[in-house]
């Protein structure tokens, strides 16, 4: 049976993947950012392949009050094992590049995917135990409250907003996984179609699309009355006719109970303007869906009073806007007048 060799482009990419994985040993793989009013600059927990970094001591001091276990690198067996696994996969990429056999490429891809799945399950398990196994004699106890950080994305924990995301090392793992998938697919296509040459430009374009999609911001999230809190005044949102949301370029969502709180938050420059992706405001009529401020019809009047005395309401329909304009003796404004 003829040995199925992989093409030179795949072999070069495999060698690059091997070198990139070795770089993971030196850079953080994951980060958990904590933001609260008393820490406007934020706190970071950085997870490397063999240690913890960032503001570990400050986070441990805060966690002591709510009964969470303190974090120490020697307590995690993963930090002993993980560097060897990374070196294994880096070496395997280079070895498959030198051997140039399709079956070894397929096996490498399967092992790499299995490793990624197991790693994420283990990370979730650690976060669960860390957030649920609390000291019953802690200074601050909130009945029924757990402090499990999000696996990925944003989660509100008391007055702290926790944002969990891959760091440089994590994105390198994602990129290597995507490249391995593309190589496996390309080699399969070559095998099925009499060794048609792998179009590297198409593969690169596909990779860029995947990376672009992974970096896209999310859309607005529905306001949950009686549960969601305003990110500025910290009051519970109780009237979704006046609500608003801000979404960062990372996809983090900030919610507000009134246009007054939204504008006050923007003017505080807690989030730089360059990091803001979209701003939404609730439709005063209908089912109160969130509308992009650049597309909404905005009315301003002293006779309008929101939960925090905001005097602005929004409409998606010009017909409903005109009716409200006459009712409230309001002035039609555009968003750039309110937040230039």
DSSP strand pairing (52-54 vs 39-47): antiparallel
pLDDT digit of tens for each residue in the chain (340 aa)? 456 788 888 889 999 999 999 999 999 999 988 887 777 778 888 999 999 888 888 888 777 667 677 788 888 888 889 999 999 999 999 999 998 888 899 999 999 999 999 999 988 888 887 777 776 766 666 666 667 778 888 888 777 788 888 999 999 999 999 999 999 988 888 877 754 444 555 656 665 655 555 544 567 888 999 889 999 999 999 898 999 999 998 888 999 999 999 999 999 988 898 989 999 999 999 889 999 998 999 999 999 999 998 899 999 999 999 999 999 999 999 998 888 7
Tell me how far apart the alpha carbons of residues 147 and 28 are, in angstroms, rounded to a whole number.
23
In angstroms, the Cα distances linking 296 to 18, 190, 293, 337 are 50, 51, 5, 13
Sequence-ordered list of residues with C-beta below 8 angstroms from that of 114, at least 6 positions apart, any chain: none
Cβ atoms < 10 Å from Cβ of 18: 20
**Is the pTM value of this prediction over 0.75?**
no
Decide: helix, strand or coil at residue 121: helix
Tell me how far apart the alpha carbons of residues 263 and 184 are, in angstroms, rounded to a whole number.
50
Cβ atoms < 10 Å from Cβ of 176: 23
The vertex-259 CA angle with 257 and 262, nearest 5°, equals 80
In angstroms, the Cα distances linking 111 to 17, 114, 116 are 15, 5, 9
Tell me how far apart the alpha carbons of residues 315 and 279 are, in angstroms, rounded to a whole number.
15
- Do the Cβ atoms of 172 and 20 come closer than 8 Å? yes
- Do the Cβ atoms of 229 and 237 come closer than 8 Å? yes
Tell me how far apart the alpha carbons of residues 27 and 29 are, in angstroms, rounded to a whole number.
6
- Do the Cβ atoms of 243 and 310 come closer than 8 Å? no
């Amino acid at each position: 049976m003829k040995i199925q060799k992989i093409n030179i482009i795949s072999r070069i990419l495999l060698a690059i993947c091997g070198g990139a994985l070795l770089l993971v040993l030196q850079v953080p793989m994951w980060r958990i950012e904590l933001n609260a009013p008393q820490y406007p600059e934020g706190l970071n927990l950085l997870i490397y392949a063999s240690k913890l970094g960032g503001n570990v001591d400050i986070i441990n001091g805060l966690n002591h009050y709510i009964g969470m276990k303190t974090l120490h690198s020697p307590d995690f067996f993963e930090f002993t094992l993980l560097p060897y696994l990374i070196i294994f996969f880096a070496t395997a990429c280079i070895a498959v590049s030198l051997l140039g056999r399709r079956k070894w490429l397929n096996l490498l891809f399967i092992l790499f995917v299995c490793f990624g799945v197991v790693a994420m399950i283990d990370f979730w398990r650690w976060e669960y135990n860390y957030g649920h196994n609390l000291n019953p004699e802690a200074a601050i106890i909130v009945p029924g409250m757990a402090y499990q950080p999000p696996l990925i994305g944003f989660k509100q924990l008391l007055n702290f907003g926790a944002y969990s995301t891959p760091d440089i090392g994590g994105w390198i793992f994602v990129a290597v996984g995507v490249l391995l998938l593309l190589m496996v697919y390309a080699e399969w296509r070559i095998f099925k179609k009499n060794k048609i040459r792998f179009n590297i430009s198409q593969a690169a374009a596909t990779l860029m699309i995947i990376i672009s999609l992974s970096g896209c911001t999310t859309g607005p999230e529905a306001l949950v009355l009686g549960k969601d809190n305003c990110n500025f005044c910290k009051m519970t949102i109780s009237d979704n006719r006046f609500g608003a949301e801000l979404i960062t370029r990372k996809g983090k969502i900030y919610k507000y109970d009134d246009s007054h709180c939204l504008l006050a938050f923007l003017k505080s420059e807690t989030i730089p303007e360059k990091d803001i992706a979209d701003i939404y405001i609730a439709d005063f009529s209908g089912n109160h869906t969130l509308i992009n401020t650049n597309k909404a019809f905005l009315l301003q009047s002293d006779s309008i009073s929101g939960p925090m005395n905001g005097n602005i309401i929004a409409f998606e329909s010009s017909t409903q806007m005109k009716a409200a304009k006459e009712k409230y003796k309001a002035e039609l404004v555009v968003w750039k007048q309110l937040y230039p």
